[in-house]
Amino acid sequence: MAVHPIDYRYGTEEMKKVWEEENKLQKMLEVEAALAKAEAELGIIPKEAAEEINRKASTKYVKLERVKEIERETKHDVVAMVKAFAEVCEGNAGEYIHFGATSNDIVDTAQSLQFKEAIAILERKLKELRDILLEKAEEHKYTVCIGRTHGQHAIPTTYGMRFALWASEIQRHIERLEQCKERICVSMITGAVGTMAALGEKGLEVHKRVGEILGLNPVLISNQVIQRDRHAEFIALLALIAQTLNKIGVTVRSMQRTEIGELEEEFDPTKQTGSSTMPHKRNPITFEQICGLSRVVKSLALAEFDNIPLWEERDLTNSSAERCIFAEACVLLDHILTLAVKGIKKLRVNIENVEKNLELTKGLIMAERIMIELAKRGMGRQTAHEVVRKCAMKAYDEKRHLKEVLLENEEVMKYLTKEELEELMNPKTYIGLAPQIVDEVIRELKNK
C-alpha cells in the first residue's frame, strides 16, 4: 500500500524512474562492470572475467528480487548485490566482481550516475520555464501595472519586467546547475579509507579509468565516501531553485486575491471545483502547491548539511538520510517545476483589473514623477519632495485625487501648467526604460 505522497500524488514518472530501486541497482551494476573493465585493461583481473561481468551487468540478469532476498540474510545491500551478480556470471567470473573496491565506491559512484540523469531532466525543464517567461515578458512588455513595495502602491512598472526578472533568476539557476554538475557527478574507486591499498600501485589508474568509462570526473581525494559538501551544495541548489518557484507562486497568489485580481491561474469552469462548500471559489491551487512543496525541498537541504561532518573516514549516519533526501528533493523539485511550466504558460493577465488598480490611489503613485519634474525645473529636490509629500498626504486624508490638490498648490503651479500636470499624471508614460530592459533580458537569455 502506498504511504508517501510521491508514490501516488506528486512527481513525474520520468524523474521517479531515476530514483526507483531498479535503476539504482542498474547503476551499481554499471559501476561494477566499469571497475572490472578497467582492472582487466590494467592486467589486474582476467580479460575473460571482465567481459562476462560486463555482459551480465544488467537487471535483465541480476534481479532486484534476488538481491533483496540475499540482503534479508546478509543485512548488507552491496554484499547482496555482489552475491546476486556473481550467481549469474558463468565460470569463475563472479569471483572478480568488486575486486579492490569498498561498498561506497559503488554506491556513491552509482548515485553520481543518477544525479547526472536527474540534472538532465531539471536542466531541460528550467530552460523550458525560462523560455516561457521570456515569451510572457515579450507579450507584456507594455502592460503597465502598479509596482508595490512593502505591499503598498509604489510607482508604475510592467508585467514584462516581472516576467523578465523571473526569467533572469531561472537562468542563474541553470548556470549554477551546470557548475554544480562538475562537482556532484563524480566517481570514486579508492577503497576502504581512500588510500587505494587493495589495488596496489595501479590503484590511481583504476580510479581514473573507471571515471572515464562512466563519463564522470574522478575525485581528487576521498576517504570511504565522496565528501558530502558536494551533495550538500547540490541539495542546497535544489532548495534555492524551489525558493524561486515559491517567490513566483507567492506573487501569482497575491495578484489573484479577489480585491486585486490582476492574475489568474488556469481554471476550467465546466469541470473544476474550488471548494466542497463554496461553489463560487476559483483558488490558485497550482501555485499554492508549488509554495507548499518548496518548503519540503528547503528542509531537505538542512538535513544534507548534517551529512557533511561524518566521523573520521566515515560513519553510516548519512546513508539512511540520503535514501530519503536525494530522491525526495529531485522528485519534488521536478514536480513543482512541471507545475510552474504549465502554470505560467496558462497564466491569465486581467488587463481590466490591472488598469483599475493603477488608478486606485487617485494619482498618488505619480508623486515621485511630479517631485522629480519640479526639481528639474528649479525648485530643488529636497524642497520639491516636501511640497509634494504634503500634497500627497492631504490628498490621502481628504480622499481626493492628487492632481486636484496639486492644482491648488501655488508653489507647484509656479513651475507647471495645468496641461503639463495633466500629462505628468499619466501612469502609462512613467515606466522609465522598462521596455528596453525587457528587450535586453530577452536578447541576453534567448537561445542560451
Q: Active-site positions? A: 150, 275
Q: What angle do CA 349, 175, 214 make, to 5 degrees?
A: 130
Nearest to 443 by CA among 175, 125, 132, 138: 138
For residue 413, with 0-12 CB atoms within 10 Å meaning exposed, 13-18 middle and 19 or more buried, which class applies? Answer: middle
Q: What does the alpha-carbon distance between residue 178 and residue 350 come to, in Å, rounded to a whole number?
A: 37
What 3 state SS string does the chain have? CCCCHHHHCCCCHHHHHHHCHHHHHHHHHHHHHHHHHHHHHCCCCCHHHHHHHHHCCCCCCCCHHHHHHHHHHHCCHHHHHHHHHHHHCCCCHHHHCCCCCCHHHHHHHHHHHHHHHHHHHHHHHHHHHHHHHHHHHHHCCCCEEEEEECCEEEEEEEHHHHHHHHHHHHHHHHHHHHHHHHHHCEECCCCCCCCCHHHHHHHHHHHHHHHHHHCCEECCCCCCCCCCHHHHHHHHHHHHHHHHHHHHHHHHHHHCCCCCCCEECCCCCCCCCCCCCCCCCCCCHHHHHHHHHHHHHHHHHHHHHCCCCCCCCCCCHHHHHHHHHHHHHHHHHHHHHHHHHHHHHCCEECHHHHHHHHCCCCCHHHHHHHHHHHHHCCCCHHHHHHHHHHHHHHHHHHCCCHHHHHHHCHHHHCCCCHHHHHHHCCHHHCCCCHHHHHHHHHHHHCCC
* Amino acid occupying residue 426: N
Query: CA–CA distance from 130 to each of 124, 295, 333, 445 (Å)?
Result: 10, 22, 15, 8
Residues paired with 263 in a beta bridge: 349
